[in-house]
A and B are shown apart, each in its own frame.
Chain A
Amino acid sequence: MVRVTHWITFIAFVALLITGGEIVISHPRFYWGEVGNVNTRPLFIIPIPASRATVPTGYGYVMPDQNGWSRYLHFEAAWVVVLTGLVYGIYGLWSGHFRKNLIPARSDWTWRAYRDRIAKYIHRGRADRSEESTYNVLQRTAYLVVILVLFPLIIWTGLAMSPSFTSAFPATAALLGGRQSARTIHFFVSWLLLLFLFVHVAMVALSGFRSRMRAMITGQSRDSGEDE
C-alpha cells in the first residue's frame, strides 16, 4: 500500500509541477497580501516571458497559452494526491507504518542523533544493519516534514486561492495574509517539494538506484523475501 500510494503520488506530483509551471507563466509576478496585478508593486518577478500580452515582462515575446488544460489537469492531479494521501494516511495509522517506520525512536530525539547521521552521510559510511528494513532518523524527519507540513500546506494554500472555497471558509485565506500571499506561499512550497524530490532521488541513486527501485516497485529487497 505504501508503494502503490508512493507511485500514484509521484505521477500526480509531476503533473502538478508541470501544470503549475504553465499556470505561473501566464502571470510570472508574485505579490503579498490580498490583491496584486500589473498595476501594483510585486514582491518579486520571475524574469521569463509570459503567456499573456498584458503582463509587462520586458520581452517582446508572448508564450503560447497553456492554461486551459493545465488548470484542468492541475486540479484533477490535486484530487489524486488528496485522495491517495487519505488512503495512505489511514493505512499508515492503521497498520502501524507511521509508528514503526516514520516517527523517530524516542532515543533519537536529540541533536546528537541528527549530527551523527549527517556525519555518516558526509563520510559515506555504510548504513547500519537496522537501516536495511527501515528509515534512519534523518529520513524519518524528512518524510514526516513532507507528509505533515509541506503537503498539507500546499493543499491549504491551493484552497485559499479558490474564490468559492474561501467564501465558505474565509479564514483559510485570511490567516495567510490574503489571496496573493497564499499564491506566493504555494509557489515556494512547490519549490521545497521539488527540492525534496531532487535530494530523495539523489539518495536513491547513491544507495544503489537499481536495487532501491526494485525494492520500491516490487517490495522485494535483494536478500530477504519479506513483503512490505
Chain B
Amino acid sequence: MNPISRRKLIYGGVAAAASFGGLIAAERLAGRYGLIPPDGSGVYGPGETLTYACQRLLTTRSPARQFPRSMISKDPFANAVAAPTEEFKQLQAGGFRDWRLVVDGRVAWPMSLSLADLKSLPIQSQITEIACEEGWSYIAEWIGTPLSAVLREAGALPGSRFVVYYSFEKGMWESIDMADAMHPHTFVTMGMNDGDLPVPFGGPLRLRLPRQLGYKSLKYLAQVTVTDDIKRFGSGKGSVDPDYGYSWYAGI
C-alpha cells in the first residue's frame, strides 16, 4: 500500500465516521423538533424526512399561492368518487341540514357542528389551485371557515401535534401537523365558485389544504380529532395513504 492510498483511507474513514455521527445527531434533532413525518421509517424514510423537515423549516408560514378571479378554471375536473351510500343520499335529500362535523380529541369542548353552525364562524374565501399527484390541476374559489377558527371554537389544547380528519366515506382518513392545521388557508370548505360546494367536489364539506396535493383535501369531511400521538391511529403512519403506498406528507 503506497502512502497516498493510506492517507486517503484515513481521510475516508474519518469522513465516514463523521457523516455517520452527523446522521445520528441530525436524526435526534429532527425528532426533537417534530421534523420526522409519521411515515418517516423504512426505505423511503430518509427521503420523506428530508422533504418534510426542509418544508417545515422553509414554508411553515408562507401563504398559499393565490390567483386572480380571471384565472378560475371554467370547467374544473371533479375526479372520480365512490358511489354515495344510502345514508349519504338521505342527508343529501335533506339538503344536508343533518350533516354534522364532530370535533373531538384533545379539545376543551368537544362539539358536533351543523353547516349552519360552521357558517356562523368567520367565512373567508381563497382562489387557489388544487393539484393532483397525477399531474393535473385547476383553480377555483373556495369558501369556508379556517380550520383554525373551528379548533379555537372547540378549544384545542396546547401540546397537540396533529389533527386527524375523517371522511363520511368509510375508511378514508387523513392527518396534518398543527402547522398546517393552523395555517390561515387550511379551510373547512362549504362553497365553491359562488355556490354551495357540489357533491362531486366534496360537498357539503371538504377540508381544503391548498399547500398540499389534492388527496390531502379530503372530501365529505365528517370528523376532526386533535391528538398528540399520531401512532394510535390506523397503522400509525398518519393517514390511509401509506397503506396504499402513498406518502403522508404531500406538500412536495
Spell out A's residues near B (CB within 8 Å): 23-24, 26-27, 29, 34-40, 52-55, 67-69, 71-73, 75-79, 161-168, 170, 173, 179-180, 183, 227
Contacts and interface: CB of A to CB of B under 8 A. Distances in A.
B26 interface: no
A161 B214 CA distance: 13
A163 B210 contact: yes
B55 interface: yes
Which of A27, A55, A167 is packed against the most chain B CB atoms within 10 Å?
A167
Given A27-B135, A40-B75, A79 B46 contact: yes
6 contacts: A29-B135, A35-B137, A38-B77, A71-B247, A165-B58, A167-B65
A164 B79 contact: no
B247 A72 contact: yes
B131 A161 contact: yes
**What band does the interface of chain B fall in when counting residues whose beta carbon is under 8 Å from A?**
35 or more
A34 B129 contact: yes
Given A35-B139, A73-B44, A79-B50, A167 B63 contact: yes
Contact of A162 (B50, B210, B252): B252
A121 to B, nearest CB: 35
B211 interface: yes
A179 B73 CA distance: 14
Contacts of B59: 164-165, 167-168
Contacts of A24: 135
A164 B55 contact: yes
Given A54-B80, A164-B211, A168-B58, A76 B137 contact: no
A3 B82 CA distance: 52
Given A34-B67, A166-B65, A68 B137 contact: no
A53 B80 CA distance: 9
B4 A227 contact: yes
A170 B65 contact: yes
Contacts of B79: 54
Interface string B229-250: 0000000000001001111000
B105 interface: no
B136 A173 contact: no
Nearest to A78: B47
Given A68-B246, A162-B251, A168-B59, A35 B212 contact: no
A208 B52 CA distance: 45
A1 B34 CA distance: 34
Contacts of A71: 133, 246-247, 252
B214 to A, nearest CB: 9
B109 interface: no
Interface string B150-179: 000000000000000000000000000000
Contact of B139 (A34, A67, A68, A79): A34
Nearest to B183: A167
B123 interface: no
B112 interface: no
A188 B65 CA distance: 25
Contact of B134 (A26, A73, A168, A170): A26
A64 to B, nearest CB: 12
Nearest to A80: B47
Contact of B51 (A38, A79, A168): A79
A36 B135 CA distance: 9
A207 to B, nearest CB: 27
A180 B137 contact: yes
B88 interface: no
A36 B137 contact: yes
A206 B63 CA distance: 53
Given A77-B47, A167-B62, 12 more contacts: A26-B133, A34-B137, A37-B138, A39-B138, A71-B252, A76-B44, A76-B46, A163-B211, A164-B55, A164-B211, A167-B65, A173-B65
A167 B135 contact: no
A38 B65 CA distance: 22
